[in-house]
Amino acid sequence: MNKKGKNILAILIIAGVLLILKGITAEAYVGSTFTYAYDNQTLTYKVLSEPTETENGTAEVINEEGSNEKLSGEVNIPQTVTNRNMTYNVIRIEDEAFMDAVNITGIKLPDKITYIGEDAFRNCAGLANINIPDGVTGIEDGTFSGCSSLKSMHLPDRVSYIGNSAFKDCGKLTGINLPEAVKKIGRSAFSGCSSLTSVNIPEGVTGLEDEVFQDCSNLTSVMLPDSIKSIGKYAFNNCISLKNIHLSDEITSIGEYAFSYCSSLTSIKIPYKVTKIENRTFIKCTGLTTIRIQDRITSIGDFAFYGCSSLISISIPENVTSIGNFTFQGCDNLRPIKIPSQVTSIGVGKFPYTGVLVYKNSYAETFFEKNFPEYYQIINLPLEEMVFSEDVKNIGVGDTVTLKPDFYPAFSSDITGNIIWTSSNPHTVSVDANGSVRGLSSGEADISAAMGKYQATCHIIVGGTALNPTSITIDEKNLAMNKGESTKLHLDFTPADSTNRMVTWKSSDNSVVTVDNGRIYAKAPGTATITAISGTASANCRITVYNPLKEIYSDYNEMRLNKGETKRIAVSYYPMDTTDDKTVVWRSEDESIAMVEDGIIKAIRPGKTTIIATVGTLTHSIPVSVLAPVKSITFSQASVALTAGQKQTVTLDVQPVDTTDNLVITSTDESVATYSEGIITAKKRGKATITAVCGSLSASIQVTVGTDIKSISLNKQNLNLYLGTSETLTVTYNPANPADDKTVTWASSDETVVKVDSKGKIQTVGTGTATLTAIAGGNKKASCSVTVKLSVPAALKAVSGGFNSTKISWGTVSGASGYEVYKADSKTGAYKIIKATTAKSFTNTGLTTGKTYYYKVRAYRYKGTKKVYSSFSEIAGAKPVPSTPGDVKLVKVSSGRISFTWNKVSGASGYEIYRASSKTKTYSRVKSTTSLHFINYGLTKGRTYYYKVRAYKIIGNQKVYSKFSAIFPIKI
């Protein structure tokens, strides 16, 4: 082999080896795992496919041995990851990948993700936000179950299904869009989403699974498409805020507990195709006042309306045959219920105390008569007809036949059962009390059955040859009836004397018309032929049944829409199977507020109008209120500093400007600042927060108000006060009339000396000096120095206390602990303390009679252990003199003689008696004596004399006199 051939061979060998190695490598890596760190988080990935020469491989995020449970904060999953120099696109999140990672708060998923596994984020209690990439086509079972912090969710357009429990117990989820591609929503998908307020189910979803919205306690509105055919068990159980819901007439079944405990639901319609109300469907719907039950319903289950305490009336369709246990127990406001005649089964449990209405001879009458005799009343239903099925009958001699009349209506309250039978020819035909007729001999007779005013007659021919009719005719060839009506067809027989009048009646369509002995009952809209056959003769009548439209209605008695919002209104018809034209003509009373087209209402601007639906001559009106909820509210600034009395414009921007939400503006302290018509007014020094609340939004501005007081001054800067006195200081402001609060705060530097109240009134407490400080405007001060002293004892008096004593007295000094009395022999002489006392008087004894002594007093107060003194009082002098004679008595003892007596005066040397002939004339001494009495002789009869006496004490060679006694007159 030449060199060139060897090279080619080598190349081929190497290429083959590489291909083998490539296959081995791919087989080794697909399904293997590796870790990759990104944005401070390390995750584990599993290889799904290996890279090629032109494309990256693919990988999915997995939870290796629970490692992801330890993650926290924001998790950012990269678009691509690398391992051993190979790059992989991240396209899947494995089942349970982040389950129980309770500390994750957010997740950013890469754009190429196409699948998020079952339970992928189950119980991620802290997860608040996550994006769903556009390639995801479904939300798997339990994917976000238990994500109790998740607030909102946007699903991409390609999502076609939502799995079981997908968002179960996402308690903070307030909104979610359901794309038009969604065709299935699984069991418990949104159960426990207690913050969810409204949901629009896309067209194409054919059923609501069990528990789908159970415990959505804030759900107020649900829009169901016409494609919905079934509603599962517990679908809306405990949706306590659900107010209304439109159920399409295409729905064929509603499961048990479907609307149980929906306490805000006020009205609901049972769809036309539903034939049974299941057990507990509406149990404890305490707000339910109206329910419309279509006439296809045949049974009402156990507890169906138990505890519907607001339900006022209910009409049970005539097709209902069974009513379950406790169906209406607790419906305390329900008016009497009419039990249909078809009912053959009634369960246990109480009915409303207002009772029930039953048909005579019905099962319901028997049931209530036996179980609740106090509950029921018989429906007054007059008897319209009492007839025999054959009005002519042939029998043989000796033959017996029993006649039984037919009644219409069959449950008439006039049917008593007391029938009186008679024969017009008892020798030919007899009849007993039970209607048994016997042919006695050849001939004819009329047998009559009478019940009160009603009577039926049958002509009996005994022994004759039966004459068959050759032809029969019905009195009507074509007849139009309304559903629910009944009428009797009448036959004419040819020949008229035919006797074999046994007739067989048939209907070509018993679902449209039924016939019984010639009485026809219109059951449903349509056409049927009634045929009467007697022998070989027959006759037909074509019956057309109509069902006129009686009412149109919707699920809304009123509607509230936000500006720009649209809502579809579905009109319901009663009866649903009406044969009338059901074309709806819509109009709005004010199209500037709300427009309507084909039942879709669009809110234009805030206001009120009425949407009117018209079908034929019937109308249904819906009052519509258009609201403009606030979207934003902001002040033009976050804070402002002002001076008291100042005003400043601050703009409050509320969007939209035509919002219908109430705007309320408050201040945390209106004495500091207020806001009105865009202006903040600063009133006094302080801080306040102005808050504007509109709807659910609010905005605030912090206002700081400084004082406009520049300075203050007091009416006095220095003040001397006596203890026990008070004075009021007044404040002068600069400027004189500031806008700020003029309240003054007072303080004393020493409250043991003075205190001051809030009005500047000073209270002296002790002696000393203190500074009073007034503060206004926050930091503006003025002060006054106050010195408090004891006041000088006032009203000092010194008087003789007797021949050898003086008595000194003075006024009280407030706050004094005591007083010191000083004495001197001369006014200007040296004074010495003679007494310290707490009394207000002092008697100085041991003095020389007639000598003048001088006194002064000062008060003192203890301050600690030291005495603080007042100034001395004025000087008062007094000299001791004998006391004035007391107990003086003047009496006439005989003609021309009187007796004048007195008590002894201590220390007196003697007494001098003075007399005058007039009280105001000069008195002359008539006697000096040491005795205590004096008898005056030789007085003139009829004359009046006046006497007085004084004591004296001899000091040296001088007399020192007391004061004279009082003057005593006496007539001789």
- 425-443 tens-digit pLDDT: 999 999 999 999 999 999 9
CA gap 485, 341 in Å, rounded: 16
Identify the pLDDT of residue 497: 82
Do 557 and 513 share a domain, yes or no?
A: no
Last residue of a domain, one of 768, 789, 810: 789
Q: How does DSSP assign 516-539, residue by residue? A: ETTEEEE-SSEEEEEEEEETTEEE
Residue 71 clears pLDDT 60, i.e. is over it: yes
Do 776 and 716 share a domain, yes or no?
A: yes
Which burial class, exposed, middle or buried, applies to 456 when counting CB atoms under 10 A from its CB (0-12, 13-18, 19+)? buried
CA gap 381, 727 in Å, rounded: 100
Residue 5 placed within a domain: yes
Do 776 and 825 share a domain, yes or no?
A: no
Buried b (16+ CB within 10 A) or exposed e, 49-71: bbbeeeebbbbbbbbbeeebbeb
Residue 568 placed within a domain: yes
Identify the pLDDT of residue 555: 86
Which burial class, exposed, middle or buried, applies to 879 when counting CB atoms under 10 A from its CB (0-12, 13-18, 19+)? middle
Q: Which domain holds residue 938?
A: 889-971
Do 395 and 435 share a domain, yes or no?
A: yes
Do 540 and 478 share a domain, yes or no?
A: yes
With beta carbons less than 8 A apart as the criterion, state whether 194 and 168 touch.
no
Identify the pLDDT of residue 417: 81
> C-alpha 920: how far from its chain's center?
99
Q: How many residues does the chain have?
A: 972
Residue 9 clears pLDDT 60, i.e. is over it: no
3-class secondary structure, 234: coil
Residue 10 clears pLDDT 70, i.e. is over it: no
**Which among 339, 336, 334, 303 has a CA at the least distance from the CA of 320?**
339
CA gap 247, 201 in Å, rounded: 12
**In sequence order, which residues have a C-beta less than 8 Å from that of residue 720 and are 6 or more positions away?**
786, 787, 788, 789
Residue type, 664: V
Q: Average of pLDDT values for 264-277?
A: 95
Do 956 and 898 share a domain, yes or no?
A: yes
Residue 20 clears pLDDT 60, i.e. is over it: no
CA gap 345, 343 in Å, rounded: 6
β-strand pairing of 72-76 with 103-108: parallel
Identify the pLDDT of residue 446: 95
Residue 533 clears pLDDT 90, i.e. is over it: yes
CB atoms within 10 A of CB 83: 17
| Number of domain units in the chain | 8
Residue 645 placed within a domain: yes
Identify the pLDDT of residue 184: 98
Alpha helices in 385-520 (DSSP H): none
138-141 long-range contacts, Cβ below 8 Å, gap at least 24?
Answer: 138/162, 138/163, 139/163, 139/166, 139/167, 140/95, 140/116, 140/166, 141/165, 141/166, 141/186
Residue 110 placed within a domain: no
Residue 584 placed within a domain: yes
Pull the structure tokens for residue 137.
Answer: 């086509």
Do 807 and 872 share a domain, yes or no?
A: yes
Q: Average of pLDDT values for 777-797?
A: 95
Binning pLDDT at 50, 70 and 90, where does residue 6 land?
A: very low
**Distance between start and end Cα atoms, the chain:** 199
Residue type, 948: K
Q: Which CATH number do you get for residue 924?
A: 2.60.40.10
CA gap 501, 533 in Å, rounded: 10
Identify the pLDDT of residue 390: 86
Residue showing tokens 């200081």: 729
878-893 pLDDT tens trace: 999 999 999 999 999 8
Last residue of a domain, one of 627, 651, 681: 627
Do 717 and 781 share a domain, yes or no?
A: yes
166-217 pLDDT tens trace: 999 999 999 999 999 999 999 999 999 999 999 999 999 999 999 999 999 9
Do 522 and 565 share a domain, yes or no?
A: no
CA gap 567, 324 in Å, rounded: 38
Last residue of a domain, one of 706, 732, 766: 706
692-749 pLDDT tens trace: 999 989 999 999 999 999 999 999 999 999 999 999 999 999 999 999 989 999 999 9
What phi, psi does 321 have (nearest 5°)?
Answer: -115, -20
Q: Average of pLDDT values for 150-159?
A: 95
> C-alpha 564: how far from its chain's center?
29
Identify the pLDDT of residue 4: 46
Residue 926 clears pLDDT 50, i.e. is over it: yes
Pull the structure tokens for residue 421.
Answer: 């039978």
With beta carbons less than 8 A apart as the criterion, state whether 451 and 386 touch.
yes
Q: How does DSSP assign 136-200, residue by residue? A: --EE-TTTTTT-TT--EE---TT--EE-TTTTTT-TT--EE---TT--EE-TTTTTT-TT--EEE
Residue 620 clears pLDDT 70, i.e. is over it: yes
CA gap 962, 946 in Å, rounded: 19
Residue 89 placed within a domain: no
Residue showing tokens 């028997």: 366
Binning pLDDT at 50, 70 and 90, where does residue 312 land?
A: very high
The CA angle 343-344-346, to the nearest 5 degrees, is 85
Do 826 and 846 share a domain, yes or no?
A: yes
CA gap 611, 45 in Å, rounded: 58
275-293 pLDDT tens trace: 999 999 999 999 999 999 9
Do 685 and 754 share a domain, yes or no?
A: no
Binning pLDDT at 50, 70 and 90, where does residue 18 land?
A: very low
Which burial class, exposed, middle or buried, applies to 162 when counting CB atoms under 10 A from its CB (0-12, 13-18, 19+)? buried
Residue 534 placed within a domain: yes
Residue 60 clears pLDDT 50, i.e. is over it: yes
Do 904 and 942 share a domain, yes or no?
A: yes
Residue 235 placed within a domain: no
Q: Which CATH number do you get for residue 485?
A: 2.60.40.1080
CA gap 547, 625 in Å, rounded: 35
Residue 8 clears pLDDT 60, i.e. is over it: no
CA gap 309, 332 in Å, rounded: 5
